[in-house]
């Protein structure tokens, strides 16, 4: 009996391990299935959107868009511009918070078609990162290269913003290079992040680790020339023109008809401010720092990540992007047919419901990420 008594705890432990293994395998299988159907859902959503007939007059109308207001906040002595929208009165107390983070050359106004819609149910804040939009643009040339405009500093900015302005944890929705800043925030301050949605995140193709070895010295020399000589100022002067900005946007968008005068104006105007050229030239010389594939494995299990990807993006191609949907941190990878690099602006009718779906999935108190 005594030998059998000693074996029983071991048997129970073995059974427990087997049950845990079955549970883990079931969880992994469920997540693989969710990823497999995500693209199909997105395609179905796109088709339904493009072919749906107008709802009958008896159908409930969506609530009116929330009014958007512009604000300034001081961070480490710098003026930071942001826009905000959200429910009024008692509804605001329980409304989840959302922070919108733009990409390279963008600003809070690039989210102008999302902020008032998300603001129907959420407290939403679209921020201008330091150096962009109408935020201050401290001179990077007086400091070591890339010591001012980098993802670690933008992560600190976002963390302070969540603490001081938002007042606590928020969902973080990001486009392009803003996605790297959002992931860095989730690594540095996960207690402030309820979840991250990456929209055509920048894969940082000019990162030194992704450059051909023989080309690295030439790329470094070109970056130094642009950053530190008048050649760079002339180059920026050619970029910061209405027609050039329009052409760049038409290249980036799957549907060039979505590139409106309003869009060109909201991208170009901040780029004509003093200091914008120096920020632009400093950032295009930024070939170090974190990569998405380095940050995603570091995301805590408490922070869910979802990826949206415009299939027509010519800069960050979807065939490379799909690999990022396989990271454990990512619950779904959703492709958007016919849409380019900035889906939130090009196709807000597709993106806004997907963003709100993410909030609903993880917005409940105590919701489990993975």
Burial pattern 272-282, b for ≥16 Cβ within 10 A else e, equals: eeeebbbbbbb
Report the Cα 199 to chain-centroid distance in Å. 5
Please state the three-class secondary structure of 38-92 as a single string.
Answer: HHHHHHHHHHHHHHCCCCCCCCCCCCCCCCCEEEEEEECCEEEEEEEECCCCHHH
* Structural domain of 104: 68-204+289-363
Per DSSP bridges, beta strands 78-85 and 69-75 are antiparallel
Which pLDDT belongs to residue 7? Answer: 37
Mean pLDDT of all residues belonging to the chain: 87
Give domain status of residue 83, yes or no: yes
The answer to the question of residue 121 being in a domain is: yes
Q: For residue 194, is it within any domain?
A: yes
Sign of the dihedral defined by the CA atoms of residues 251, 255, 256, 260, in that order: negative
How many domains does the chain contain in total?
Answer: 1
In a domain, 109, yes or no: yes
Q: What is the CA radius of gyration of the chain?
A: 23
Encode 102-130 in three state secondary structure. CCCCCCHHHHCCCHHHHCCCCEEEEECCC
Rounded Cα distance between 206 and 295, Å, is 17
Quick: pLDDT tens for 86-134. 998 877 888 999 999 999 999 999 999 999 999 999 999 999 999 999 9
pLDDT at 23 (0 to 100): 45
- Position 88 scores a pLDDT of 86
Q: What is the pLDDT of residues 236-274, one digit of tens each?
A: 999 999 999 999 999 999 999 999 999 999 999 999 999
The Cα–Cα gap between 232 and 110 comes to 26
Query: Residue 231: inside a domain, yes or no?
Result: no
Give the number of other Cβ atoms within 10 Å of residue 28's Cβ: 11
CATH code for position 189 = 3.40.50.1820
Question: Quick check: is 302 in a domain?
Answer: yes
pLDDT of residue 125: 98
The token duo for 5 is: 């008594």
Residue 3 lies in a domain: no
Element (H, E) at 157: helix 151-161
* Enclosing H/E stretch for 172: strand 170-175
Report pLDDT digits (tens) over 321-341. Answer: 999 999 999 999 999 999 999
Do the domain assignments include residue 245?
Answer: no
pLDDT for the residue 349: 97
Low-confidence residues of the chain, pLDDT below 70? 1-59, 365-370
């Amino acid at each position: 009996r005594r030998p059998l008594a000693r074996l029983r705890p071991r048997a129970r432990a073995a059974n427990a391990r087997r049950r845990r293994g079955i549970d883990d395998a079931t969880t992994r299988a469920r997540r693989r299935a969710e990823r497999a159907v995500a693209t199909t859902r997105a395609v179905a959503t796109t088709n339904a959107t493009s072919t749906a007939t107008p709802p009958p007059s008896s159908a409930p109308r969506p609530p009116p868009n929330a009014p958007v207001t512009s604000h300034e906040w001081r961070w480490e002595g710098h003026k930071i511009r942001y826009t905000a929208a959200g429910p009024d009165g008692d509804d605001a107390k329980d409304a989840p918070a959302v922070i919108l983070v733009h990409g390279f050359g963008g600003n809070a106004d690039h989210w102008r078609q999302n902020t008032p819609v998300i603001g129907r149910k959420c407290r939403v804040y679209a921020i201008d990162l330091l150096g962009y939009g109408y935020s201050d643009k401290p001179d990077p040339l007086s400091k070591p290269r890339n010591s001012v405009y980098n993802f670690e500093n933008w992560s600190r900015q976002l963390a302070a913003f969540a603490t001081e302005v938002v007042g606590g944890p928020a969902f973080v929705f990001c486009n392009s290079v803003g996605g790297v800043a959002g992931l860095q925030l989730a690594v540095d301050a996960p207690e402030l992040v309820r979840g991250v949605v990456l929209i055509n995140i920048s894969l940082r193709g000019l990162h030194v680790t992704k450059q051909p070895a023989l080309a690295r010295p030439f790329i470094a020399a070109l970056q130094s020339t642009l950053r530190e000589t008048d050649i760079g100022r002339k180059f920026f002067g050619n970029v910061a023109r209405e027609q050039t900005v329009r052409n760049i946007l038409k290249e980036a968008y799957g549907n060039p008809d979505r590139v409106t005068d309003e869009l060109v104006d909201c991208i170009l105007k901040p780029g004509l401010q003093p200091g914008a050229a120096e920020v632009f030239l400093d950032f295009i010389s930024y070939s170090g720092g974190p990569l998405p594939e380095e940050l995603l494995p570091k995301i805590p299990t408490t922070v869910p990540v979802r990826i949206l990807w415009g299939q027509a993006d010519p800069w960050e191609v979807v065939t490379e992007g799909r690999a990022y949907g396989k990271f454990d941190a990512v619950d779904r990878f959703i492709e958007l047919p016919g849409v380019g690099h900035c889906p939130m602006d090009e196709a807000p009718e597709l993106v806004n419901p997907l963003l709100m779906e993410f909030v609903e999935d993880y917005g409940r108190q105590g919701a489990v990420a993975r």
